[in-house]
Amino acid sequence: MKFDFKTRCLSYLKRYQTFILYALFGIPPTLVSFGGYALLINLFSIKAFLASGISWTAALIVSFFLYRRFVFQSYRQNTGLRKILVEFFKFTALRICSGAMETGFVWFFVDFLGFHQYLFKVIASFLAALFNFCISKLFVFKAQRDSFKRRT
């Protein structure tokens, strides 16, 4: 049996397309979050806690519209202000929950158990992103998944 690298790669890309797009379209909100945070602190001398909250909110809005449009493509089925607001509320609630989980993870492993602060922040962020992806796909932007079920 011959191993076809190109076919295998295309197969993986197709299988994991949504996750790959999720990761790629997660870059702009990350830049908004960190860039906005730095800008608010350095240019406007805003306190770190407030700058973090403002930049997190801006990144949340950016990520919602990017994921809605380019990753899960729910804009095709969920039109109308009411449906968009319901999606946004679910998305925001999910992000608040995952943020609390990430913070709790860091507190437990870093502050309570004394593990490495940066390593466990990265692990916590990765787990939160994975959680966000799964919950977004299953509960927030589920129109794409439901429409695929109807087609097949």
Query: Closest by alpha carbon to 34, among 47, 50, 51?
Result: 51
Q: Identify which has the larger pLDDT, 52 or 93.
A: 93
Whether 113 shows a pLDDT value over 50: the answer reads yes
The tens digit of pLDDT for each residue in 79-97 reads 788 888 989 999 999 999 9
- Do 90 and 27 reside in the same domain of the chain? no
Domain extent at residue 96? 78-152
- Do 96 and 61 reside in the same domain of the chain? no
Whether 148 shows a pLDDT value over 50: the answer reads no
Token pair listed for 73: 């493509």
Angstrom distance (rounded) from CA 93 to CA 45: 29
pLDDT band at 151 (very low <50, low <70, confident <90, very high): very low
- Do 85 and 148 reside in the same domain of the chain? yes
- Do 65 and 83 reside in the same domain of the chain? no
For the chain, the residue count is: 152
- Do 47 and 15 reside in the same domain of the chain? yes
- Do 48 and 97 reside in the same domain of the chain? no
Indicate the burial class of 140 (C-beta count within 10 angstroms; 0-12, 13-18, 19 or more): buried
pLDDT of residue 60: 92
- Do 101 and 59 reside in the same domain of the chain? no
- Do 103 and 144 reside in the same domain of the chain? yes
